[in-house]
Amino acid sequence: MVFKGLDTLAALGPVKELRDRRTGPLVLELDLAEGLVEGTPPDPLTALLSIRRTHLRDVLDGLRKARTDPRVKALVARINGPVGLALAQELREAVAELRAAGKLTVAWTETFGETGEGTTAYYLASAFERVCLLPSGDVGITGFSLSEPFVKDALDKVGVTFQFGKRAEYKTAPNMFLETGYTRAHEEASERLVASVGEQIVKGVADGRGLAEADVRSLIDRAPLLASEALEAGLVDELCYRDEVYAHVKGVAGKDARLQYVARYARSGLTERVPRKPADGVALIQAQGMIRLGRSGRGPVPGQGGAVGSDTLAAALRAAVRDEHTKAIVLRVNSPGGSYVASDVIWREVQLARRAGKHVLVSMGNVAASGGYFIAMGADTIVAQPGTLTGSIGVYTGKPVVSGLLERLGVGFGSTAFGAHARIHSPVRDFSEGEWDRINSSLDRIYADFTSKAAQGRGLPLDRIDELARGRVWTGADAAERGLVDELGGLDHTLDLARVKAGLPADAPVRTFPHTSPLDRFRPPESSEDRTAASVRFEAWGSLSGLAARLGFPSAGPLVMPGYGDARW
């Protein structure tokens, strides 16, 4: 009987451990060493490689859930990775809400920029109740700058010229090839961007640390600061190592407190009730990367994110419209633009979704400019962070001309053509007068369409939109003052707005569209309305597609009939 009793006690051990895990105190961890993933990457390989990285939605969902969870006692965050300004503002809002709920929040790092800029990282950390830094660390809150190269003189020396047309003077992307320095409009726009970002940083740090804005500006001008100088100035609360940070947090939370990453906590579902039947909710659709025709996939430049395919995004919007439980759609845009035609395809689907009775809201990430603004401007409501780069309502096109370089190298180039403008895109000759006429007609048409649709979507007179357009990039803060966006806030705020507009409860579910399984990526779609139509494609050149195109290789891939990719039919 004694041994039987001992066996019973032993069996109860795992039960007690499970109970403690469900009811014991928790300390949430957030490690930003590798930054944040905005959404699920569009191509299968990148999605697989990013499976262990921290996703923004998981962090926001976890911090929201933690506000009302009595088990959660504290959040400890390691802030030393690459996070854009708008995402930093998104996290600052979530941390502020957690602090308001009475939870301890502690930020720590080895250094805010050992040999580089640490302003954005420190700006994020200043939203926490306590900021801890290693004694050997620095606070590199040195501010922001724009460094923009101008390579016209260098290109002239090697015999390469660029021919561009643009609408209008603030569409400055071609200037690096056309100018030897700032134009007046370029300098004006760049100076305002830097000033707006600086104002946001100063105010955020001052509010977070209880300092005067003038003192923060003075500290920025003195930085980078040694750890001891940062402590004396009130930028950090304590100089300590990781073990000391965690000992302090566990001392507050309780010796039995268990550590858990925010993302794991968000997905645990231990405190959530699973509905018996599908509930009405909000569809979340991601638009991350350069915009192009076709399906989403890898972007043309390695490390620069994916590409937004008009087919994929349009199919996702149509799927959300058809779903009877979707009452509102939130389109998360983090894109610098791309194809005008692809952007127009997506804009049209946004209009159709609204006509179908769905509320469509846009949440802007770090950048939603040019084509990124085009696909957003038709929504019911646009929400941006103060540090979002947006606007850039304009257009440009052109080509490099390398005939001078080829001549210096002793390379001749012969060609034949049928059609007066058959060689309009040829890099070995200038545009003819007739070709310039066609280019300018196209630029005028695109600019007129862009501005008229912006005026329609924003409810502003066309002449006012033209004043705000002309290719100029604005911060979200400046765009909100001018009516280009409606509200300032992040993804969580936009989802809450969507619930309110749709008359949904505050805990209405958010579903990511499209709903596709890994196997769906390989199954051919039954029709253009099939959910697999929103799946991505495997590309012949993969992440090297952009380089392949620049070198003149056929875009379909290396295994293609010679000459097929070079003919201009």
What CATH number corresponds to the domain at position 156?
3.40.1750.10
Residues 159 and 233 in one domain: no
Q: Is there a domain that residue 566 lies in?
A: no
Distances (CA, A) of 265 to 30, 56, 74, 271, 312: 11, 13, 13, 10, 31
Q: Are residues 428 and 347 in the same domain?
A: no
- 198 within domain boundaries: yes
Q: Are strands 104-109 and 487-488 parallel, antiparallel or unpaired?
A: unpaired
**For the whole model, what pTM was predicted?**
0.87
Count of CB atoms situated within 10 Å of the CB of 559: 7
DSSP 115-166: SS--HHHHHHHTTSSEEEE-TT-EE------------HHHHHHHT-EEEEEE
Is 345 found in the same domain as 207?
no
- CB within 8 Å of 470: residues ≥ 6 apart: 167, 168, 169, 170, 171, 185, 393, 394
User: Does any domain span residue 108?
Assistant: yes
Dihedrals phi, psi of 526, to nearest 5 degrees: -75, -35
489/383 same-domain check: yes
Domain contains 109:
yes
Q: Which residue, chain included where needed, has tokens 């009730």?
A: 273
- Do the domain assignments include residue 12? no
Q: Are residues 450 and 521 in the same domain?
A: no
Is residue 508 assigned to a domain? yes
Other beta carbons less than 10 A from residue 2's beta carbon? 6
Whether 129 and 231 share a structural domain: yes
- Nearest partner of 300 among 552, 543, 46, judged by Cα: 543
The verdict on 42 and 104 lying in the same domain is yes
* Tens digit of pLDDT at every position of the chain (569 positions): 455 555 555 545 555 555 556 778 999 999 998 888 886 655 555 555 556 678 899 999 999 999 999 999 999 999 987 789 999 999 999 999 999 999 999 999 999 987 668 999 999 999 999 999 999 999 999 998 988 999 999 999 999 999 989 998 999 999 999 999 999 999 999 999 999 999 999 999 999 999 999 999 999 999 999 999 999 999 999 999 999 999 999 999 998 999 999 999 998 864 444 455 679 999 999 999 999 999 887 665 544 567 899 999 999 999 999 999 999 999 999 999 999 999 999 999 999 999 999 999 999 999 999 999 999 999 999 999 999 999 999 999 999 999 999 888 999 878 888 999 999 989 999 999 999 999 999 999 999 999 999 999 999 999 999 999 999 999 999 999 999 999 999 999 999 999 999 999 999 999 998 766 555 655 666 666 665 655 554 444 444 454 444 444 433 332 232 333 333 33
Backbone angles phi and psi of 400, in degrees to 5: -85, 145
What phi, psi does 480 have (nearest 5°)? -65, -40
- Distance CA(450)–CA(380), nearest Å, equals 17
170 and 57 assigned to the same domain: no
- Rounded distance between C-alpha atoms, residue 146 and residue 133, angstroms: 28
Same domain? 247 vs 346: no
How many structural domains is the chain composed of?
3
Q: Do 369 and 313 share a domain, yes or no?
A: yes
Domain that holds residue 58: 22-142+190-268
Query: Residue 53 domain-assigned?
Result: yes
CATH number at residue 368: 3.90.226.10
